[in-house]
Structure 1
């Protein structure tokens, strides 16, 4: 877990961005709507802090992240937050100001902003720097801190988030999405069937391969592949992992135990050009109009 810092959102070297308050930036307008749900980037401190409060409720209160980690006013906050854009889902059927209508969030860290931080968040677990160095012509985006309130964990909330992500990808001409996805608990063996299936059937191609860092590497092939029931393995995966696989994501080499967040993490790699065309057509439809 990275060390937290005071939550001013000034960006380094004068780099502007939507959450830095760039007035009129297209990505602070709605990026998608489904029923009463609307998705856009955070516009101000109140919205970012509300997203951090939701993250705290889910990661700490619900999933058991260690409360000894540094946190501020029951908010999950670290040194990367000021450098990230925060994608938010609002439910406009709720009353109150916008920051009290947030029901889901995703944290987006572009490569140029990661450089200002000295690296991506995921580099503490996976050799992402080497992967990016092998593809200097590609623009990387790290997805992280994905969470949705329990009562909103539905297909339409996920679709709203992906509408926003597609608009963001198009606006910034992102080539590759990466990030960690988590299984609950700190024992890889508890997920032996799912992890073994991923290791055998969902690995990255050699040119996109990325390995867990030395000293934190845990093997994912935990049982004979002949003993794996594919349907049971897929059913045992967290919804976020299944969602990534559905659009064509691949998995890196090895998993990492994150004791602070009480999870077993795998690494997701999604070159945009390799994502299934039906998903690009479906999710990008509305988002394209906002991406100019």
Structure 2
């Protein structure tokens, strides 16, 4: 059972329908920009483990995400990501996997410790469960790819998935940035445009699909993101373990 306390924040698994509802309400606010929008809920909520990051001072939910454990790549078709990406290459992955999805931080919270604590919780779970691949969809806000051209150029230049795992196109509407972009990235602009979650994946050696899915329903562009645990640099692994300790 996950239980982690760091400074003013505590992390725990959702235990009740009310906990899951609170996560859905935070997702609605974070993804759709208003609390009274249609509730962000789907069928995967019933089969996932939900992780809550709360402020110990007032009990407020400041961050949430969900895990879907898979025994190996042979189960990749059960994942949320498989709705949008052709993932047959990953069927050959032999180790345990976890899909991490619906990650969000309350839009009024700017404390970088929230992300650090969340990654500490992920690290604790990954190590306890012997997970070998962490994956999911990393989202850019909005569907205008031009806003993120330097970020996508950097993904193309430095962070594309190995060919043996490369997702192929499945969604009807995609931005094939690896084919279309011919620019060198402006590193500063690229990092400014990179979502914090994706930036953290990349710092640990993560990789991405060669195209972004245009998700009009969620008003996002997202890339498939994978992180092979054994590829995390030792120094970065020590930092994550310290956050999880």
Same fold (TM over 0.5): yes
Match of 1:269 in 2: 226
Point out 4+ residue stretches in structure 1 off by more than 3 angstroms. Answer: 112-118, 214-217, 285-288
Q: SS of the counterpart of 1:153?
A: coil
> TM-score, normalized by length of structure 2?
0.90
Indicate the structure with greater strand content. Answer: 2
Question: Within the alignment, does 1:240 sit opposite 2:212 as a pair?
Answer: no
Aligned residues: 244
Work out the CA distance in 1 between the residues paired with 2:24 and 2:132.
27
Q: Distance in 2 between matches of 1:196 and 1:189?
A: 11
TM-score, scaled to structure 1? 0.76
Give, in whole Å, the separation in 2 of the partners of 1:179 and 1:116: 14
1:121-164 residue CA offsets vs partner (Å, 9 max, x unmatched): 11111123x133121x2111111101111233322101111111
Give 1:50 deviation, angstroms: 0.8
Q: 1:286, 1:235 → 2: CA distance?
A: 25
Q: CA RMSD in A?
A: 2.5
| 2:146 equivalent in structure 1 | 189
Whether the 8 Å CA contact 2:72–2:97 is kept in 1: the answer is no
- Answering whether residue 83 of structure 2 is matched by residue 124 of structure 1, we say yes
| CA displacement at 1:187 relative to structure 2 | 2.4
State which drifts further: 54-63 or 34-43.
54-63
Residues 162 and 185 of structure 1: CA distance in aligned 2, closer, same or farther (over 3 Å) = same
The answer on 1:202 being equivalent to 2:159 is yes
Tell whether 2:129 aligns with 1:172: yes
Q: Is the 8 A contact 1:138 1:176 kept in 2?
A: yes
The corresponding residue for 1:278 is 235
Query: 1: distance between equivalents of 2:105 and 2:74?
Result: 28
Structure having the higher Rg: 1
> Does 1:220 find its partner at 2:177?
yes
1:149 aligns with 2:106: yes
Aligned-pair CA distance for 1:113? 11
Judged with a 3 Å threshold, the aligned counterparts in structure 2 of structure 1 residues 253 and 188 are, in CA distance, closer, same or farther, namely same
Q: Give the drift of 1:117.
A: 10
Partner Cα separation in structure 2 for residue 47 and residue 215 of structure 1: 34
Q: Distance in 2 between the 1:204 and 1:109 partners?
A: 21
Q: Paired residue for 1:50, among 22, 36, 39?
A: 22
Check whether the contact 1:84–1:113 (CA below 8 A) recurs between aligned residues.
no
CA contact (8 A) 2:12 2:53 kept: yes
Q: Answer whether contact 1:125 1:216 (CA < 8 A) is retained.
A: no
- 1:269 Cα deviation from its structure 2 partner: 0.8
| Residues 46-125 of structure 1 aligned to structure 2 (within 5 Å) | 46-62=18-34, 71=38, 75-94=39-58, 101-112=60-71, 119-125=78-84
Give the gaps of 5 or more residues in structure 1.
1-25, 95-99
How far residue 285 of structure 1 moved from its aligned partner, in angstroms, is: 3.6
Give unmatched runs, 5+ long, in structure 2: none
**In the superposition, relative to structure 1, how do residues 208 and 41 fare at CA in structure 2: closer, same or farther (>3 Å)?**
same
